[in-house]
């Protein structure tokens, strides 16, 4: 039986798994039911799943010999605090919670791949570490790494996929280098001196200073960091003042700095360093002072060139060369934490199909997937694992 036929024979089970996960969404580190179901399924394959990081599940599959490399294959498990409005018959049974990012699809695809790879264990040399990871939306990968998921046995490479509504059904997005963004979240408090709007010269106006900040920092990309390095510097909240004729003392600006390349604080191309310097200088010009709060939420997922070739060749065989697209996103993905330690590849499985309503953005209450693309993801995982081991012989 070919891999494609094997996937086809398990399609009913694949859809049932996805719909069951979809109906029972759970937030990060609270994926208790989800975790139990994954454990039961893996046990039914004869594997010995272990709990890691509260609700995470890890299982090893040894191939023909276990002296080959160890490949980590990861699916994320968490849902979002979103009120589902899809009207699907298997909609969320948990009020205010929804699998609005597609992690239900990831778990069901990796479980089905685990079934097929277990049946094929005599055809590869090495070990697969199946990792079901909690709390992707808030950096759960790092918690699993801190809890030792890359050790015993030591992982040599990692692979992950995301079902992806920005790409049409029947396509797979793969690219070497950065494919999801690094993100720093910021809060800037600009301090002036309040007063009467009829006597602006007697006050120090933080509002006009804030306006200059919002405009000027947009020049960081091109003038201070190469135009070839994508940056999205966005303000999501501006707050200050109490009444139309009062100049306030302070204005608060909050937002995100996303960048699609690997950099560290102190590096010449670090956009957050540039932001801090420019905002400080603008405040000086306007006679204001400022204070900052930063939080680095994610690194960029940077695809390893060799792993990308493996994934690209496999994708080409599944959907055809013209349907393999170069794709990267300013969204964040905590899979980056695995790629910080071992060669890794992360691919996007296109799922937008207007006829089934799967063209809403991720995290939207109407987000859904084209279930017809689930078998593509399973086939990709199985073939990519086998191709990886074959390349290491
Ligand atoms: Zn998400
Ligand atoms: Zn996601």
pLDDT tens digits along 108-158 = 999 999 999 999 999 999 999 999 999 998 889 999 999 999 999 999 999
Which token pair is 144?
């699993």
Packing angle between helix 103-119 and helix 374-392, nearest 10 degrees?
50
- Sign of the alpha-carbon torsion through 371, 79, 17, 153: positive
Largest CA distance in the chain: 83
pLDDT average, residue stretch 185-209: 98
Q: Ligand 1 centre from 288 Cα, in Å?
A: 38
Give the span between the Cα atoms of 78 and 34, in whole angstroms: 9
Give the residue with greater pLDDT, 277 vs 1.
277
- At 97, the pLDDT band (50, 70, 90 cuts) reads very high
Which token pair is 229?
């390095």
| R_g over Cα of the chain | 24
pLDDT per position as a tens digit, 259-303 = 999 899 999 999 999 999 999 999 999 999 999 999 998 899 999
Q: Ligand 1 centre from 48 Cα, in Å?
A: 29
Q: Ligand 2 centre from 102 Cα, in Å?
A: 6
Q: Residue 230 — left, alpha, or beta (φ > 0 → left; ψ -120 to 50 → alpha)?
A: beta
Count of positions (residues) in the chain: 393
Bridge partners, 132 (sequence order) = 57, 75
Q: Ligand 2 centre from 189 Cα, in Å?
A: 32
pLDDT per position as a tens digit, 217-263 = 999 999 999 999 999 999 999 999 999 999 999 999 999 999 999 89
The full set of domains in the chain, from first to last, is 3-179+301-392 (3.40.630.10), 182-298 (3.30.70.360)
CA 174 to chain centre: 14
- At 357, the pLDDT band (50, 70, 90 cuts) reads very high
Q: 201-230 as b/e, with b when 16 or more CB fall inside 10 Å? A: eebbbbbebbebbeeebeebbeebbeeeeb
Give the span between the Cα atoms of 176 and 308, in whole angstroms: 6
Give the span between the Cα atoms of 353 and 167, in whole angstroms: 9
pTM of the model: 0.90
Q: Ligand 2 centre from 101 Cα, in Å?
A: 5
Residue 393 above 80 pLDDT? no
Which token pair is 158?
């990692």
pLDDT of 378:
98
pLDDT average, residue stretch 199-204: 97
Run of H or E residues at 284: helix 271-285
Run of H or E residues at 17: helix 11-23
Q: Ligand 1 centre from 380 Cα, in Å?
A: 21
Which token pair is 370?
């084209």
pLDDT of 105:
98
CA angle 390/5/22 to nearest 5° reads 95
pLDDT average, residue stretch 343-348: 98
Residue 208 above 90 pLDDT? yes
Given strand 250-259, what is the order of strands in its sheet? 231-240, 250-259, 182-191, 289-298
Give the span between the Cα atoms of 363 and 378, in whole angstroms: 23
Which token pair is 235?
């303000």
Q: Which of 52-56, 205-209, 300-304, 388-392 has the lowest mean pLDDT?
A: 388-392
pLDDT average, residue stretch 39-66: 96
pLDDT of 392:
82
Q: Ligand 1 centre from 141 Cα, in Å?
A: 14
Q: Among residues of the chain, what percentage have pLDDT more than 90? A: 96
Give the span between the Cα atoms of 115 and 39, in whole angstroms: 13
Q: 56-76 as b/e, with b when 16 or more CB fall inside 10 Å? A: bbbbbbbbeeeebbbbbbbbb
Q: Ligand 1 centre from 286 Cα, in Å?
A: 39
């Amino acid at each position: 039986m070919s891999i494609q036929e094997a996937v086809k024979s398990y399609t009913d089970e694949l859809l049932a798994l996805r719909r069951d996960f979809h109906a029972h969404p759970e937030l990060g580190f609270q994926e208790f039911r989800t975790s139990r179901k994954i454990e039961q399924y893996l046990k039914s394959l004869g594997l010995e799943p272990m709990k890691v990081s509260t609700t995470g599940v890890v299982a090893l599959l040894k191939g023909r010999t276990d002296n080959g490399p160890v490949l980590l294959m990861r699916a994320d498990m968490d849902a979002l605090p979103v009120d589902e409005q899809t009207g699907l018959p298997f909609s969320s049974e948990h009020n205010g919670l929804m699998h609005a990012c597609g992690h239900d699809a990831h778990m069901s695809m990796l479980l089905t791949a685990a079934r097929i790879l277990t049946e094929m264990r005599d055809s590869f040399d090495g070990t697969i570490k199946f990792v079901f990871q909690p709390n992707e939306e808030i950096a759960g990968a790092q918690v699993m790494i801190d809890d030792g998921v890359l050790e015993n046995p030591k992982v040599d490479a990692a692979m992950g996929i995301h079902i992806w509504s920005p790409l049409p059904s029947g396509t797979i997005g793969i690219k070497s280098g950065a494919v999801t963004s690094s993100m720093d979240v910021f809060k800037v408090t600009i301090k002036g001196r309040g007063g009467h709007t009829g006597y602006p010269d007697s006050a120090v106006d933080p509002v006009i200073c804030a306006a200059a900040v919002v405009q000027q920092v947009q020049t960081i990309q091109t003038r201070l960091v190469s135009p070839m390095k994508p940056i999205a510097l966005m303000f999501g909240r501006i707050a200050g003042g109490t009444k139309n004729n009062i100049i306030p003392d302070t204005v608060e600006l909050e937002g995100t700095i996303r960048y699609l390349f690997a950099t560290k604080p102190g590096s010449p191309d670090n956009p957050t360093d540039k932001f801090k310097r420019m905002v400080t200088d603008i405040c000086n010009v306007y006679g204001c002072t400022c204070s900052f709060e930063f939080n680095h939420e994610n690194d960029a997922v940077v695809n390893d060139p060799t792993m990308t070739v493996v994934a690209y060749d496999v994708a080409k065989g599944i959907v055809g060369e013209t349907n393999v697209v170069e794709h990267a996103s300013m969204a964040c993905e905590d899979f980056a934490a695995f790629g910080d330690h071992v060669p890794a590849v992360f691919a996007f499985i296109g799922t937008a199909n207007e006829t089934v309503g799967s063209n809403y953005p991720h995290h939207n209450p109407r987000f859904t997937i084209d279930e017809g693309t689930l078998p593509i993801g399973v086939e990709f995982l199985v073939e990519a694992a086998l191709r990886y081991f074959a390349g290491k012989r």
